[in-house]
Amino acid sequence: GQQLNQSPQSMFIQEGEDVSMNCTSSSIFNTWLWYKQDPGEGPVLLIALYKAGELTSNGRLTAQFGITRKDSFLNISASIPSDVGIYFCAGQLIGTASKLTFGTGTRLQVTL
């Protein structure tokens, strides 16, 4: 199936640092979404992007839909301990209105 390459796979950062992660694909996506998953829970939507070039913020989170429609990034500013978790990108491929393709996730750990 289609793959979303998400990087980095994991990162350790100190509280207060900024974080950046991204997803790339060889395919064109209509929609990009970023989710966060805490242990034992389902993913929770953070940001949704619907247009190429779109830059959207949600508090300390900022995400962009790449111009080529093949990539997206997520930035977290001034990280705090509760940012710990696994972040997934997800995209909706052209012609596949029924489902999302998910990246393999970025595990974020924040140290004090």
Partner 1 sequence: GAGVSQSPSNKVTEKGKDVELRCDPISGHTALYWYRQSLGQGLEFLIYFQGNSAPDKSGLPSDRFSAERTGGSVSTLTIQRTQQEDSAVYLCASSDQRGNYGYTFGSGTRLTVV
List contacts with partner 1 (CB under 8 A): 1, 4, 6, 31, 33, 40-45, 48, 88, 90, 92, 98-105
Euclidean distance between CA atoms 15 and 83, whole angstroms: 9
Q: How far is the CB of 11 from partner 1 (least distance, A)?
A: 15
Q: Which is nearer to partner 1, 50 or 80 (CB)?
A: 50
Collapsing DSSP states into helix, strand and coil, what is residue 4? coil
Do 49 and 56 form a contact (C-beta atoms < 8 A)? yes
Pair 55, 62: CB distance under 8 Å: yes
Instruction: Considering the complex, state which of residue 73 and residue 87 has its C-beta at the smaller distance from partner 1.
Output: 87
**Minimum distance from CB of 16 to partner 1 (Å)?**
28
Task: Compute the least distance from the CB of residue 112 to partner 1, in Å.
Answer: 25
- Rounded distance between C-alpha atoms, residue 31 and residue 29, angstroms: 6
Could you tell me the smallest distance in angstroms from the CB atom of residue 20 to partner 1?
19
Query: What residue type is assigned to position 49 of the chain?
Result: L
Between 47 and 76, CB nearer to partner 1: 47
Tell me, rounded to whole angstroms, the distance of Cα 17 from its chain centroid: 18
